[in-house]
Amino acid sequence: MKKKYGKLIIVPTPIGNLADMTFRAVEVLKNVVLIGAEDTRTSSKLLKHYQINTPMISYHKFNERSRVEKFLTKLKNGEDIAIISDAGTPGISDPASIIIKAAIENNIKVESLPGATAFTPALVSSGLDSERFYFAGFLPEKKSEKDSLLKELINIKDPLIFYEAPHRLHKFISSLKEAFGNRKIVIARELSKLYETYYRTSIDEVLANSDMITLKGEFVIIVEGAQEKEYSDAELTEMLQTEIDKDKSKKDAIKKVMEITRKSRNRIYDLALGLKISKNI
Ligand code: SAM
């Protein structure tokens, strides 16, 4: 008779408050044969707290592929394996997708436990529309890839959710300004921890007050989606001038202002004609 395969179980862990572990998550981690953890040292604190003695091996973005075979062998042998990351849900801006795909391809049952993740509380408490949303995660580091992703997001009407590290936050907000112009944003800092803070603000306000955000801890940034907004001629002219001051040609400035405002080329073109600059259209 064919041996019954084990299960691959994806287990979320707290994003800052140890008490956010579910009863089921503890039970699963106690009962599996092996836990694949992003960083075994980080997770050993959690396991110790909940008196979980299951063996752990590292499973992170640098050894993800090489670990898959080991996990598949155990799973095919009927053993259950759990995957955890340093915080939150594995597979959400964290490794896990490679083993999940491999398990599915090998007819192994995959279970994901509901649980902690950073973007859900951030979105819900942001006060922005949460009926639909776009999870963008971390922006790519390479400028060309980052610019092309932001360009794709310009016309999305639903809130956009990003993850970013504290030391890159200001640069990140400048990239948002460059791509979207001014918009409402909500910056959620240190969720579920002692210094949890929500900054419900705008891109321009953050750029104008660089000290308003404590650049320590972890951040989720929610950007309001594209709104149908009326712009006065004066506002459009100011936006054109801002682009031109960045050493853009009138043609590029018009393109950029059209992208941001989604107003007609003719109107923006006419306004640009009135602007005195050395470069030609
Ligand atoms: N798997 C995680 C999840 O389910 O949300 C995300 C892991 S990702 C490597 C780490 C990023 O998640 C951080 O840089 C930050 O953007 C966000 N994050 C994690 N914990 C957070 C917290 N307590 N408060 C705010 N953001 C957090």
Q: Cβ(240)–Cβ(272) under 8 Å?
A: yes
Report the C-alpha gap between 207 and 165 in whole angstroms.
17
What pLDDT is stored for residue 1 in this prediction?
Answer: 62
Report the C-alpha gap between 245 and 248 in whole angstroms.
7
Report the C-alpha gap between 185 and 138 in whole angstroms.
16
How confident is the model over 42-69, as a mean pLDDT? 94
Out of 60, 187, 218, 223, mutate this one to test ligand 1's pocket (max ligand atoms within 8 Å of CB): namely 218
List domains and CATH numbers for the chain: 7-112 (3.40.1010.10), 119-223 (3.30.950.10), 233-273 (no CATH)
Decide whether any atom of ligand 1 lies within 6 Å of the 118 Cβ.
Answer: yes
Q: Is the pLDDT assigned to residue 280 strictly greater than 60?
A: no
Closest C-alpha to 109, from 68, 89, 81: 81
- Percent of the chain surpassing pLDDT 90: 85
Secondary structure of 50-116 in HEC code, one letter for each residue: CCCCCCEEECCCCCHHHHHHHHHHHHHCCCCEEEECCCECCCCCCCCHHHHHHHHHCCCEEEECCCC
**How does residue 111 score in pLDDT terms, banded at 50, 70 and 90?**
very high
- Percent of the chain surpassing pLDDT 70: 97
The whole-model pTM stands at 0.88
**Between vectors from CA 37 to CA 135 and to CA 219, what angle results, nearest 5°?**
35
Q: Which atom from ligand 1 is nearest to the alpha carbon of 88? A: 4
What pLDDT is stored for residue 194 in this prediction?
Answer: 97
Q: What's the 142 CA to ligand 1 centre distance in angstroms? A: 21
Q: Is the pLDDT assigned to residue 237 strictly greater than 80?
A: yes
What pLDDT is stored for residue 216 in this prediction?
Answer: 94
Q: What's the 137 CA to ligand 1 centre distance in angstroms? A: 9
Report the C-alpha gap between 269 and 264 in whole angstroms.
9
What pLDDT is stored for residue 106 in this prediction?
Answer: 97
Out of 219, 222, 223, mutate this one to test ligand 1's pocket (max ligand atoms within 8 Å of CB): namely 219
What pLDDT is stored for residue 118 in this prediction?
Answer: 98
Decide whether any atom of ligand 1 lies within 6 Å of the 235 Cβ.
Answer: no
Q: What's the 83 CA to ligand 1 centre distance in angstroms? A: 17
What pLDDT is stored for residue 276 in this prediction?
Answer: 66
Chain centroid to CA 177: how far? 18
Decide whether any atom of ligand 1 lies within 6 Å of the 223 Cβ.
Answer: no
Specify which residues 201 forms β-bridges with. 185
How confident is the model over 234-261, as a mean pLDDT? 90
Q: What's the 163 CA to ligand 1 centre distance in angstroms? A: 7
What pLDDT is stored for residue 246 in this prediction?
Answer: 86
Q: Cβ(128)–Cβ(186) under 8 Å?
A: yes
Q: Which atom from ligand 1 is nearest to the alpha carbon of 162? A: 16
The residue to which tokens 């400028």 are assigned: 143
Report the C-alpha gap between 183 and 224 in whole angstroms.
6
